[in-house]
């Protein structure tokens, strides 16, 4: 028996070493490609090279860190369980919490009957993905061939590719968190759909074989933390190139083409939606936000039925249906954030035991689990740091600090090698954002939660459990903050894409003419100024209201978690209120009119008192 276990462990260890070796070779190779691209001064090659290099480096770095701190060869490190007495209390309280109304799949009303029928059809998921598949291929083409020049504020307002991507789609991701489910995009994602159709050899039918090697991603490295780090790196790159301004449209197309090609490549190497579960830069933030969404995920109605099931068709599939491509067991509550709403488990379950629930307000039941995900906690804190940067970078003092750091480190000179030719389109960059201050700000929430967890450790709460539980209370604050930072674009610029439906390339229309269009003039009449990348004053009120609501939910989560998890309520409050109030203050400061004529004008931080009708929330 011991000999068999040794052979198994040895085989797993060798697989991990090979995986890391190939990743290291890929890192070196993509780094060399990036270097050659810099020498050739081709900006699209440079952007592609940076995307390739940072992806390989992210995977390699996370793997090496895990190898350093995790000695087992399982994914047990992902989950954290409290001491027995805390776990018992959590389970008891968790059973008492009932936050679910009748589901979307059960009932006699027309809506539930239609939804239940629809998701039983093998072609349903294909039909849901197809519209976004068509739209994003239009986006990728128009971004490459359309009008590229930027307006006076350094943004594009006439090319369908960049406008729909950053004024509409990206904000909509975070709005869906509060209206439906954070994973709603995963259900409609054209890149995962395209890869899945190729991998399965048919858009909806179950074929006998699949295309590709069908390798298994090492289970020790099966974590969404890759995604969180990838989102952070991609955000830095988006800021550096001004991609999400919206900036030069062809840069947006390169990012989308890269993600689609990478997902297809990974699907031909590994099983099912390995890319979606691990590497996709949107997977971690969407997994986090789905835990507090009004609409739940596919889950077992009765977990006991799942325990007695011997076939596990929901995971393995059967002759007619595929199993879950996300490897997210519907019987596991702590894995619910990993459900991508693919609906395969619902079709395949032989016991009709899969449900799709709607939560009762305040939608926090998924946080009340006896066993929690440590990688989710790490992702929450890191991504909160990413959003914190997006708030702080709108303040004058950050620009001063960043420019000073760029000059001292020499980054301002080197960065010019990464943007050759973009000045022809009206884009300029003096090194913003410096990688040092960017990633330092990313780490602020991690350090804050770690300090709070260390304080709780003195009270007997295990450090890892305390860190995870406190991070869970921060989820509503993160979900609100990332929506708030994107609201000026959504409210102040998204209708512009309606101008571009008949002219998606933007030819014949310069950015300066935007107010001569119907939707441009409409936005201007509401007080918005998209040409100068600013929204109307009343958007500030909406932003503050959303941030206050997220902080309120964070307090509600703190109250509930303090009962189940053994952490002091005041520790939760300290973290939640610190970041909630910080985001609200910075929202106010970054929207302050930059005019010395206003009383208490401060050029470094923003006005302390001013007329709210003069506020201009920046894009």
CA–CA gap between residue 226 and residue 178 (Å, rounded): 25
pLDDT tens, position by position, 135-165? 999 999 999 999 999 998 899 999 999 999 9
Is residue 510 domain-resident?
A: yes
DSSP labels, 17-32: HHHHHHHHHHHHHHHH
pLDDT tens, position by position, 465-479? 999 999 999 999 999
Task: Look at residue 369 in the predicted model and tell me its pLDDT.
Answer: 82
pLDDT tens, position by position, 175-190? 999 999 989 999 999 9
Report DSSP state, residue 216: P
Is residue 271 domain-resident?
A: no
Task: Look at residue 199 in the predicted model and tell me its pLDDT.
Answer: 95
Alpha carbon distances (Å) from 298 to 173, 321, 332, 527: 19, 16, 11, 42
Q: Is the pLDDT of residue 548 over 60?
A: yes
Among 605, 596, 604, CA closest to 614: 596
The last residue of one of the domains, among 37, 54, 69, is: 69
Q: Is the pLDDT of residue 28 over 60?
A: yes
8 Å CB contact between 589 and 602: no
Q: Please give the share of the chain, as a percent, with pLDDT higher than 90.
A: 77
* Residue 420 vs residue 100, higher pLDDT: 420
Confidence band for 3, pLDDT divided at 50, 70 and 90: low
* Residue 84 vs residue 373, higher pLDDT: 373
Q: Is the pLDDT of residue 103 over 60?
A: yes
Is residue 580 domain-resident?
A: yes
Is residue 248 domain-resident?
A: no
Q: Is the pLDDT of residue 85 over 80?
A: no
pLDDT tens, position by position, 242-274? 999 999 999 999 999 999 999 999 999 999 999
pLDDT tens, position by position, 507-540? 888 898 999 999 999 999 999 999 999 999 999 9
Is residue 269 domain-resident?
A: no
Q: Is the pLDDT of residue 5 over 60?
A: no
Task: Look at residue 310 in the predicted model and tell me its pLDDT.
Answer: 87
Is residue 392 domain-resident?
A: yes
Is residue 609 domain-resident?
A: no
Within 10 A of 580 (CB to CB), how many other CB atoms are there? 24
Q: Is the pLDDT of residue 367 over 80?
A: yes
Q: Which residues pair with 372 in a beta bridge?
A: 80
**Which residue in the block uniquely carries the two structure tokens 């369908």?**
160
Q: Show the domain range for 23.
A: 1-69
Task: Look at residue 407 in the predicted model and tell me its pLDDT.
Answer: 95
Among 121, 292, 264, 287, CA closest to 200: 264
* Structural domains of the chain, count: 2
8 Å CB contact between 293 and 180: yes
Task: Look at residue 99 in the predicted model and tell me its pLDDT.
Answer: 53
| Residue 240: HSE in the Cβ half-sphere, 13 Å Cα cutoff | 25
The last residue of one of the domains, among 48, 69, 90, is: 69
Q: Is the pLDDT of residue 613 over 60?
A: yes
């Amino acid at each position: 028996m011991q000999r068999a276990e040794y052979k198994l462990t040895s085989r797993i260890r060798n697989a991990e070493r090979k995986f890391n070796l190939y990743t290291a070779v890929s890192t070196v190779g993509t780094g060399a490609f990036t270097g050659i691209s810099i020498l050739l001064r081709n900006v699209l090659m440079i952007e592609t090279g940076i995307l390739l290099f940072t992806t390989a480096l992210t995977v390699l770095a996370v793997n090496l860190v895990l190898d350093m701190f995790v000695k087992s060869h399982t994914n047990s490190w992902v989950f954290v369980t409290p001491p027995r007495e805390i776990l018992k209390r959590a389970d008891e309280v968790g059973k008492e919490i009932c936050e679910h109304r009748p589901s979307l799949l059960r009932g006699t009303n027309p809506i539930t009957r239609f939804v239940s029928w629809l998701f039983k059809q093998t072609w349903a998921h294909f039909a849901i993905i197809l519209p976004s598949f068509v739209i994003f291929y239009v986006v990728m083409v128009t971004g490459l061939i359309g009008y590229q020049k930027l307006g006076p504020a350094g943004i594009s307002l006439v090319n369908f590719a960049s406008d729909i991507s950053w004024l509409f789609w990206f904000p909509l991701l975070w709005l869906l968190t509060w209206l439906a489910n954070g994973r709603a995009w995963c259900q409609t994602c054209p890149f995962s759909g395209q890869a899945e159709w190729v991998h399965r050899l048919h858009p909806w039918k179950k074929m006998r074989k699949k295309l590709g090697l069908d390798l298994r991603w090492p289970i020790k490295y099966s974590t969404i933390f890759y995604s969180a780090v990838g989102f952070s790196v991609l955000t830095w790159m988006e800021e550096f190139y001004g991609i999400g301004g919206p900036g030069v449209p062809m840069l947006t197309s390169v990012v989308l083409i890269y993600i689609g090609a990478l997902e297809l490549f990974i699907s031909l190497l590994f099983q099912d939606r390995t890319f979606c579960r691990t590497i996709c830069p949107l997977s971690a933030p969407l997994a986090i936000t789905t835990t507090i969404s009004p609409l739940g995920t596919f889950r077992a109605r009765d977990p006991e039925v799942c325990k007695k099931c011997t076939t596990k068709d929901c995971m393995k599939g059967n002759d007619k249906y595929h199993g879950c491509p996300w490897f997210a067991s519907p019987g596991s509550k702590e894995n619910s954030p990993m459900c991508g709403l693919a609906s395969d488990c619902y079709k395949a379950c032989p016991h009709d035991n899969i449900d799709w629930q709607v939560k009762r307000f305040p939608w926090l039941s998924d946080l009340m689990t006896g066993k929690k995900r440590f990688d989710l906690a790490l992702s929450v804190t890191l991504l909160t740091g990413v959003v914190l940067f997006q708030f702080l970078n709108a303040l004058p003092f950050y620009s001063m600090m960043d420019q000073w750091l760029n000059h001292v480190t020499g980054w301002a000179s080197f960065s010019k090698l990464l943007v050759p030719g973009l000045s022809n389109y009206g884009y300029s960059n003096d090194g913003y954002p410096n990688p040092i201050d960017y990633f330092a700000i990313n780490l602020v929430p991690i350090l804050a939660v770690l300090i709070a967890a260390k304080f709780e450790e003195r009270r007997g709460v295990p450090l890892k459990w305390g860190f995870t539980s406190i991070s869970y209370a921060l989820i509503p604050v993160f979900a609100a903050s990332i929506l708030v930072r994107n609201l000026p674009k959504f409210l102040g610029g998204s209708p512009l894409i309606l101008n571009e439906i008949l002219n998606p390339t933007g030819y014949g229309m310069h950015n300066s003419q935007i107010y001569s269009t119907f939707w441009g003039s409409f936005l201007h009449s509401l007080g918005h100024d998209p040409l100068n990348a600013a929204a109307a004053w009343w958007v500030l009120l909406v932003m503050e209201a959303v941030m206050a609501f997220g902080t309120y939910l964070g307090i509600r989560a703190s109250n509930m978690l303090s009962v189940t998890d053994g952490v002091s309520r005041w520790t939760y409050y300290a973290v939640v209120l610190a970041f909630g109030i910080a985001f609200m203050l910075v929202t106010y400061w970054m929207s302050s009119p930059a005019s010395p004529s206003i009383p208490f004008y401060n050029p470094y931080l923003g006005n302390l008192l001013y007329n709210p009708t003069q506020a201009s929330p920046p894009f």
